[in-house]
Chain A
Amino acid sequence: MVNYDQLIFEISKPGRSAYRVAKADVCDKPIESIIPAGLLRETSLELPEVSEPQLVRHYTLLSQKNFGVDTGFYPLGSCTMKYNPKLNEDMAGFSGFAALHPQQKTQQTQGALELMYDLSAMLSEIGGMDAFTLQPAAGAHGELTGLMIMKAYHESRGDQKRTKIIVPDSAHGTNPASANVAGFDIVEIKSTRMGEIDLESLKAALGDDIAGLMLTNPNTLGLFDRNIVEIARLVHEAGGLLYYDGANLNAILGQTRPGDMGFDVVHYNLHKTFSTPHGGGGPGSGPVGVKAFLEPFLPTPVVIKSESSYDLSYDRPLSIGKVKSFYGNFGILVRAYTFILSMGAEGLKRASEMAVLNASYIQEKLKDHYQVFANTKCKHEFVLAGLKGELTQCSTLDVAKRLLDYGYHPPTIYFPLIVPNAIMIEPTESESLETLDDFIDIMIKISEEADTNPEALKQAPTTTPIRRVDEIRAARTPILKWEPTPATSEEA
């Protein structure tokens, strides 16, 4: 591969273009004659000027500096980097979906509405919930929507004093952030060493000011919280609601359901469990499911079905309102729908079984070579507590960077916060035993290198397009856009 290091602006040259606009000769008035000059842009528009072949090569070369699921194993804990079936892309590409305008009358969009209606029903069945909104655009957006629903519910009952949400200290950072944005105060409770809810801490935190509890199960250590029934009972008895963070749903498909565990509100990440591509950080989709008593609070519109047709219902006085334009990331919904049809009930169950088996197998094989945090049955992911040996000169970060040299995407590191030097591994169901064995061998080799050749870890990676970056410099003197005269010269 060529060592390509140019920005699109740097290959720009006046007079080039990759675009030709069709000119209509019947309407060639000067712009100033139709829009007053005072309303027009004065500053020049700095965009690159490149031809199509240059442009295609530029972005193709950029893509080659990336690592995706299609490139290699991506055991990034809590992100469920499973294979993204190509059929999904083709289905979303049908012009009946891709060229459908969101403001069209529902008589013209019956197929899209049916798909959304069916998908909601499938997601309800998978989670043991009663109704879904497909509007949220991502997991964090789903959390926010779910928390707003909880708040609206309490307020609708005149219960204004429930202003607090309980979040365990092992939670994803989005949980407390979402609760804050939804206007709640946060009560953080300690987890047990295994990342489970500490029942005594929970009891102490519960009261008539608590709107609910946010929980991930299996938790962020990849362990199933066996007290879930008791937790649900305690929260409900205190008048609170239970929110399920669906980040770890891939562990339990067809085995158990959040609704059956007692959760009132859930969000799923369609880009995790339901195989839609992450796209380098989006678009995702974060549908929110609720039990029947919360259904009136879902965002508008809701897809409804009458005898012969589907429609969008806006007349919902208790609704929290809208969290996004139109109906959600529809193109992503088509992909998830395709995945569910392809997998069927049996395939979804098998996916979770293999995700758990793969994680358990790696955990078993690595437990003698790394610091074990919880030597117990894991679900779809597990957490190691860094390298063994008090005297090691290498860090978890070094292990992660060394994996890059061996062609693997590193696991999630330093999360959850309750595990020192955490290495969080989630293989998903998409990987073959051969890949797992290779990865295990490399992980063991790296643990040995940490003792025999620590510099190999500390200098890693050396085989990637760039080496470790200076993050301090990036944050201290931010350069957030390209300037015609280079903003940084090589400083000594």
Chain B
Amino acid sequence: MFPYIPNTDEDVARMLEALGLDSVEALFSDVPEAVKLNRRLDLCAPLSETEVTKQIKALADQNVSTDSLVCFLGAGAYDHAVPSVIKHLIGRSEFNTAYTPYQPEISQGTLQAIFEYQTMIANLTGMDVANASMYDGASATAEAAMLAAANQKGDTVLIASTVHPETIAVVETYMRFKGIKVVQIGAKDGVMDRDALTAKLNADVVGVVVQQPNFYGIVEDYSGVAEAVHEAKALFIMNVDPIGAALLKTPGEYGADLAVGEGQPLGNGLNYGGPYLGFMASTKKQMRKLPGRIVGQTVDLDGKRAFTLTLQAREQHIRREKATSNICSNQALNALTATIFMSVTGREGLYQMAAETARRAYYGYEKLLATGHFKPAYAQPFFREFALEVNGGADVDSINAHLFENGILGGLNISDDNAQRILFCITEKRTVEEIDRLVEVLEAYPW
């Protein structure tokens, strides 16, 4: 017997009899002989829970995770606190085992949670509206660029070279196949070169993509960018960190048309890169162009407040070949996670988390510089990550190996031919003792 399949042999016999068939094989008589498999799939035999658990636990144990390391690694995935309530609430199978809320009468739980999510994301980014979430931050950025390409005149997307390389890569893939050019705006001192932006902005540009804080953790000053971008009749797209957004000037305040970002830091575990969620928010003007699902408030027959999927005429199942996005699902459970996370922290808590993150990052930064083994790669304000250049040219991989032996997960190696550089990340979860120990262990490295 198979634990997940209820039919007994007797049930099967009864059902076959009702169908006038003499065997289960007869159900597949419409499959042409030429394409029948006619052999056993070459997979394992069915295993018991105990066997499966042992086998998979053995794989999990081969990994050395941040559970047993002190994490100073970021670069697109962040070790922020995940409140305990999250796993208990998202584990509720009424949320977890439901499909997309196409039947509003029995989906008000998911629908209201998404409505709350949309509200929180709009407030966090300072934008007018948000959609119900997307696959991840990188693909949400690509979708934003697609939106710009579909609605603005031109054939070029500009993207700052200080955007995360994975995000640039995903944007490039989407644009390549749609026949849209991607041109990078170079950097100066670790931030977008404004002269390069001015030089590249022209009538062919449909959108300009920047990141805050940027890939190097630097908080860039985007004042005046929106005005220049709008002058060129393009859309200003800001990819922002959601924790940083509690502290830093918002896309709304900068005049962005679209705000996107990676929602992982909002209570989602690291999970070796996924599932995460991408968020997307916009001005009211772009509302009916947004890709993906959107939940709206309405009333039911009795006039009672109710929530439902809305503005569906934008979506792939209606527009078919005229759709400008093919996205179908959102990351509903991850969006629920983010919603619960923001409800836990609340306005004050999220600000404190962001502020504490920045304070500890600065504490670590100054301590690391005081060792004399590093100098700042860029003299710029930062939020949670900072790039250091190794004095004397010691190899970053070797430094990280030394840290690893001491139970520390070091920063990302962002060296190039000119210099050895390391990108450290410090969140509010890192204690002063852990930061001090990072410094101690580095002091002990055979420089």
Check A-B contact in the complex, CB < 8 A: yes
CA distance A338 to B48 in the complex (A): 11
Give the residues in chain A near B234, CB-CB below 8 Å.
none
Residue ID in chain A nearest B129 by CB atoms: A480
- Residue-by-residue, is B109-130 near A (CB-CB < 8 Å gives 1, otherwise 0)? 1101101101110111010011
Give the residues in chain A near B334, CB-CB below 8 Å.
279, 282-283
A-B contact pairs, 15 of them (CB 8 A): A27-B362, A36-B381, A41-B249, A50-B343, A103-B77, A103-B412, A173-B317, A180-B324, A226-B30, A277-B97, A280-B101, A322-B173, A433-B14, A464-B105, A488-B299
A sample of 10 more A-B contacts (CB under 8 A), given A65-B109, A326-B166, A342-B52, is A5-B304, A9-B119, A18-B349, A27-B359, A28-B359, A66-B107, A186-B320, A321-B170, A321-B172, A357-B19
CA distance A344 to B269 in the complex (A): 29
Contact B296 A479 (CB under 8 A): yes
CA distance A344 to B46 in the complex (A): 4
Contact A345 B27 (CB under 8 A): no
Residue of B42, B245, B297, B362 with highest tally of chain A CB at under 10 A: B297
Give the residues in chain B near A151, CB-CB below 8 Å.
177
Contact B94 A63 (CB under 8 A): yes
Contact A112 B63 (CB under 8 A): yes
Q: How far does the Cβ of B102 sit from chain A's closest Cβ, in whole Å?
A: 8
Give the residues in chain B near A482, CB-CB below 8 Å.
115-116, 119
Interface presence of B447 (CB below 8 A): no
Give the residues in chain B near A139, CB-CB below 8 Å.
328-329
Which of B94, B135, B246 is the one whose CB lies under 8 Å from A41? B246
Contact B323 A180 (CB under 8 A): yes
Interface presence of B146 (CB below 8 A): yes
Contact A26 B83 (CB under 8 A): no
Give the residues in chain A near B321, CB-CB below 8 Å.
167, 176-177, 179-180, 186, 188
Which of A27, A40, A81 is the one whose CB lies under 8 Å from B248? A40
- Residue-by-residue, is B28-58 near A (CB-CB < 8 Å gives 1, otherwise 0)? 1111101111001111111101011101111
Interface presence of A466 (CB below 8 A): yes
CA distance A71 to B37 in the complex (A): 36
- Residue-by-residue, is A336-362 near B (CB-CB < 8 Å gives 1, otherwise 0)? 011011111111111101101110110
Of residues 68 through 121 on chain A, the ones whose CB sits less than 8 Å from some CB of chain B are 68-71, 74, 76, 79, 81-85, 87, 89-92, 94-105, 108-112, 114-115
Give the residues in chain B near A172, CB-CB below 8 Å.
317
CA distance A31 to B351 in the complex (A): 11
Contact A24 B432 (CB under 8 A): yes
- Residue-by-residue, is A1-41 near B (CB-CB < 8 Å gives 1, otherwise 0)? 00001011100100011111111101111010011101111
For the side of the interface on A, what is the size category? 35 or more
For the side of the interface on B, what is the size category? 35 or more
CA distance A24 to B16 in the complex (A): 70
Contact A469 B97 (CB under 8 A): no
Interface presence of B197 (CB below 8 A): no
Contact B362 A34 (CB under 8 A): yes
Contact B356 A24 (CB under 8 A): yes
Give the residues in chain B near A277, CB-CB below 8 Å.
93, 96-97, 333
Contact A337 B300 (CB under 8 A): no
Contact B19 A360 (CB under 8 A): yes
Interface presence of A441 (CB below 8 A): no
Contact A401 B105 (CB under 8 A): yes
Contact B28 A356 (CB under 8 A): yes
Q: How far does the Cβ of A51 sit from chain B's closest Cβ, in whole Å?
A: 10
Interface presence of A452 (CB below 8 A): no
Q: How far does the Cβ of B128 sit from chain A's closest Cβ, in whole Å?
A: 8
Interface presence of B392 (CB below 8 A): no
Give the residues in chain B near A56, CB-CB below 8 Å.
85, 88-89
Q: How far does the Cβ of B415 sit from chain A's closest Cβ, in whole Å?
A: 14
Interface presence of B409 (CB below 8 A): yes
CA distance A89 to B301 in the complex (A): 39
Contact A325 B273 (CB under 8 A): yes
What 7 pairs across the A-B complex have the smallest Cβ distances? A326-B273, A96-B60, A111-B62, A279-B333, A283-B275, A102-B273, A68-B97
Contact A324 B66 (CB under 8 A): no
CA distance A430 to B62 in the complex (A): 34
Q: How far does the Cβ of A367 sit from chain B's closest Cβ, in whole Å?
A: 11
Interface presence of A418 (CB below 8 A): no
Contact B99 A74 (CB under 8 A): yes
Q: How far does the Cβ of A302 sit from chain B's closest Cβ, in whole Å?
A: 14
Residue of B83, B107, B246, B330 with highest tally of chain A CB at under 10 A: B107
Give the residues in chain B near A432, CB-CB below 8 Å.
6-7, 11
Of residues 210 through 233 on chain A, the ones whose CB sits less than 8 Å from some CB of chain B are 223-224, 226, 228-229
Of residues 226 through 260 on chain A, the ones whose CB sits less than 8 Å from some CB of chain B are 226, 228-229, 252-257, 260
CA distance A468 to B156 in the complex (A): 45
Known: A180-B322, A283-B333, A350-B2. A465 touches B105 (CB 8 A): yes
Interface presence of B326 (CB below 8 A): yes
Q: How far does the Cβ of B29 sit from chain A's closest Cβ, in whole Å?
A: 7
Q: How far does the Cβ of B57 sit from chain A's closest Cβ, in whole Å?
A: 6
Stretch at the interface among B136-144, B199-207, B225-233, B371-379: B136-144
CA distance A114 to B62 in the complex (A): 10
Which of A91, A108, A125 is the one whose CB lies under 8 Å from B41? A125
Residue ID in chain A nearest B357 by CB atoms: A21
Known: A91-B52, A328-B274, A344-B44. A55 touches B98 (CB 8 A): no
Contact A181 B356 (CB under 8 A): no
Q: How far does the Cβ of B200 sit from chain A's closest Cβ, in whole Å?
A: 22
Give the residues in chain B near A289, CB-CB below 8 Å.
none
Interface presence of A369 (CB below 8 A): no
Give the residues in chain B near A99, CB-CB below 8 Å.
65-67, 269-270
Known: A21-B356, A108-B404, A151-B177. A52 touches B136 (CB 8 A): no
Known: A41-B245, A47-B343, A364-B19. A474 touches B297 (CB 8 A): yes
Which of B29, B133, B358 is the one whose CB lies under 8 Å from A31? B358
Stretch at the interface among A140-148, A381-389, A443-451: A140-148
Contact B76 A480 (CB under 8 A): no
CA distance A56 to B308 in the complex (A): 23
Residue ID in chain A nearest B167 by CB atoms: A325
Known: A63-B95, A181-B325, A280-B333. A29 touches B275 (CB 8 A): no
- Residue-by-residue, is B357-368 near A (CB-CB < 8 Å gives 1, otherwise 0)? 011101100000
Residue ID in chain B nearest A180 by CB atoms: B321
CA distance A277 to B192 in the complex (A): 42
Q: How far does the Cβ of B177 sit from chain A's closest Cβ, in whole Å?
A: 4
Interface presence of B393 (CB below 8 A): no
Which of B116, B287, B312, B330 is the one whose CB lies under 8 Å from A282? B330
Known: A357-B12, A467-B301. A19 touches B349 (CB 8 A): yes
Which of B62, B166, B346 is the one whose CB lies under 8 Å from A18? B346
Give the residues in chain B near A48, CB-CB below 8 Å.
342-343, 346-347
